[in-house]
A and B are shown apart, each in its own frame.
Chain A
Amino acid sequence: MVVLSIRDLRVSFPLRGEVLKGISLSLKEGEAILISGPSGSGKTTLLRVIASIIPDVIKGWVSGAIKPKPRELKAEHAVLYIPQEPWYTVVTPYVWSEIASFTDLKRNLITKYLKEYGLENFENRTTFTLSSGEIQRLNFIVSIGSNKKLLLLDEPTSHLDPGNAIKVINGVLKLKRLGKSLIIIDHYIERWRSVVDEILFLTNGTLTDINGVKDPYVKWRALIKSLRPPEDVGEVICDVSIKSFSYPGSDFEVLKDVVFEVRRGEIVWIKGPSGCGKTTLLRLIAKKFRSREGYVRVHGKTIYVPDNPLLYFSEPTPEAEVLGRLDILSKFGLKELSRTPIMKLSTGERRRLAIASILARKFDLALLDEPTIGLDPKSKYEVLKSIVSLAGEGVAVIISSHDEDLRFISSWVYELG
């Protein structure tokens, strides 16, 4: 049975012009289609149209035939849309309340599905502390309990380490077996090849079948692999010795026996699964932690860039943020955006701008939290290259991340958890 049929779909926006130029596809019950393509090619636009977000929430012109019509799908409660940043889909404070308030599942079934999707013992967890992969799987349970026919997943593995990505992919397999149909957008084609029924490539607003074709990001992945950390390192900038750390009022020991030194020009990768204390460690270094349980000594100026790079900025434009140093913006490929409001920059551009600002403001130690999260391989390459340039200028860099690609630019790795 055909769940969704699209013929000659065209979408345009007032300022961007035509984004989708005659898309046609068909999706059967229990089928999954993967759509890949470069950033800005219209992948998310396609999902937004099917979810009727365009034109109901985001204004745009839509023409062509979609059967059933997106507004009919909405009225039937037949679709679940999970955007790239899945934490925006969760509304209630606890895992049990999210499932119980959006489905008709009884307590015993909630427990059963939580176990099936690897979330046993999560029933009373606060949703604020869930990782991206855990939220994806929570949404899968909601889709089962609320009888959704069609799931639209926008880059479901982009924020995940390989282990959690496998859990989400296995979750998709289980959904297919239950007869759910899925449209998945992702840059990681190889991860999905054995799971999906069809792979399509969207470029410049048109779809092509690339079943059996190689990864279109192969060039950027090769460039990432070619990156190396600077060879010249200088004096010790940061000295960390933490015997134990727990948050005030908590008995849970977040960090234990963390001892290392970082030298000027080194790139250190703090690696570990979600919740192992990577961000906590960066924040303790930023605050020059000192207690009976340990210390952090920093010989120089320190800066911290949160996982949401917007929170780092203090000026409205890139030019002001780098204190007028256009040469530095040029070095990081941002000169043409020098007067663009920071709010209008993409996440990748914001991350590169934060790195440029660190150089312009002459910091000695940069603490970067998840600098590559959610980026496509091209943007990731540009960010990683910027980090290597920063270290090349003599800045010590400590990165907290679960992204395995950081191994190419790291001088050494410190594993937590």
Chain B
Amino acid sequence: MAKALIKLVSLILELILRALFIGNDAWYKHSSIALNISLAALIIAMVREANLQVLFYATAIIIALHTVLRTLKLFTYSLIMSFIPSLWYLVTTLPFTQSIIESAIISLRVLVTSTSVLTAIFLWNPMELSYLLHKLRLSKGITLFAPFLWKVIPHVLKDVKDSILANELKGEKVWKGLAVSFLSVAEYSSNYEEALYLKVDDFKPFFRYDSRVISLILGFEVLVINYLIFKYFII
């Protein structure tokens, strides 16, 4: 059981690491945060209605978006990660609904919701967020937060993987590996404080948009808005 859990955690860490942080910068990551969030919100609004047909449309929209962005791998990752909460809801709602179909629909709604949120995160533009915070005249520390998080998380995840592997091979408990990773993060923070002491004052966040990804996401949003208007105001 413990080994299976370790394998599952390792797989999820690997997927997050690869999907979010390892890949080089690409045109589809130069979207706008506001557009990403609104697309996810629109899809969630769409699946408020609990029927299979709507779930099918929403899934089709997400797949179509990933197809045109040529990010079907990211879709696969988000689907795998979304299966965990989806499965959890399937099992935990059964005693209340006492119907496998009703629970399956709830579980599918969670799956679509989670996939759309992860899609928004995969297309996240951390430099844009930093720029917006900078424009709000917030402190350098806060302005740096988003890009810095993007830079630091893969380091931390790599450490977690390494310490889990070393402690697993030693026959030690998993928590010992996680505790050591925590200590290593504490060591990092003082190293970063020293290394960035002079550099932080020079930070002027700069970001890039890409018109292709912006227009594609806008196009899909118009499609979903049309559906919602048709569904709630016309019919």
- The A contact surface, by secondary structure, is mixed
User: Chain A's nearest CB lies how many Å from the CB of B171?
Assistant: 8
Q: Smallest CB-CB separation from B17: which chain A residue?
A: A128
With a CB–CB cut-off of 8 A, which chain A residues contact B126?
Answer: 92-93
Q: A92-B147, A248-B18, A249-B77 are in contact. Are A128 and B155 (CB under 8 A)?
A: yes
A-side contacts of B147, CB under 8 Å: 91-93, 97, 101
* A327 at the binding interface (Cβ < 8 Å): no
| B window 138-195: CB within 8 A of A | 144, 147-148, 150-151, 154-155, 159, 162-163, 165-167, 169-170, 172, 176-177, 180-181, 183-184, 187-188, 191-195
Interface residues of B in 176-226 (CB under 8 A from A): 176-177, 180-181, 183-184, 187-188, 191-208
Question: Which of A57, A96, A361 contacts B25, CB < 8 Å?
Answer: A96
Instruction: Tell me the nearest residue of chain B to A311, going by C-beta.
Output: B163
> For window 46-95 of chain A, which residues contact chain B by CB distance below 8 Å?
48, 51-53, 56-58, 74, 77, 79-83, 85-94
| Contact between chains at A311 and B159 (CB < 8 Å) | yes
B166 touches A85 (CB 8 A): no
Distance between A158 CB and nearest chain B CB, rounded to angstroms: 15
C-alpha spacing A77/B144, complex, angstroms: 18
Q: How far is the CA of A85 from the CA of B180 in the complex (A)?
A: 20
Q: What's the Cα separation between A286 and B162 when bound, in Å? A: 11
- For residue B23, CB closer than 8 A to chain A, the reply is yes
Contact B159–A89 (Cβ < 8 Å): no
Report the minimum CB–CB distance from A20 to chain B (whole Å): 17
Q: Are A308 and B159 in contact (CB under 8 A)?
A: yes
Report whether B25 and A124 are in contact in the complex, using a CB–CB cutoff of 8 Å. yes
Across the interface, do A128 and B127 meet the contact criterion of CB distance under 8 Å? Answer: no
Q: Which of A191-199, A233-241, A298-306 contacts B (4 or more CB under 8 A)?
A: A298-306
What's the nearest-Cβ distance from chain B to residue A261, in Å? Answer: 21
Given contacts A91-B196, A93-B151, contact A314 B180 (CB under 8 A): yes
The residues of A that contact B203 with a CB separation of less than 8 Å are 91, 101-102
CB of B183 within 8 A of CB of A343, answer yes
Q: Is A125 an interface residue (CB 8 A)?
A: yes
The DSSP consensus for interface residues of chain B is: helix
CB distance from A87 to the nearest CB of B (A): 8
Contact with B along A343-374 (1 / 0, CB 8 A): 10000000000000000010000000000000
Given contacts A128-B155, A286-B165, A310-B180, contact A77 B22 (CB under 8 A): no
Partner of B195, one of A74, A77, A81, A311: A81
Tell me which residues across on chain B come within 8 A of A303, comparing CB atoms: 166, 169-170
Q: CB distance A91 to B22 under 8 Å?
A: no
Partner of B21, one of A81, A126, A304: A126
Residue A250, interface by CB 8 Å: yes
Query: Closest residue to A126 on the B side, CB-wise?
Result: B24
Which residue of A53, A103, A128 has the most chain B CB atoms within 10 A of its CB atom? A128
Interface residue A100 (Cβ < 8 Å from any Cβ of B)? yes
Q: Which residues of B contact A81 (CB under 8 A)?
A: 195, 197-199
Chain B residues engaging chain A, CB cutoff 8 angstroms: 14-15, 18-19, 21-26, 73, 76-77, 126-127, 130, 144, 147-148, 150-151, 154-155, 159, 162-163, 165-167, 169-170, 172, 176-177, 180-181, 183-184, 187-188, 191-208
Extra pairs beyond A94-B127, A126-B25 (6, CB < 8 Å): A57-B193, A81-B198, A96-B208, A100-B206, A125-B24, A304-B162
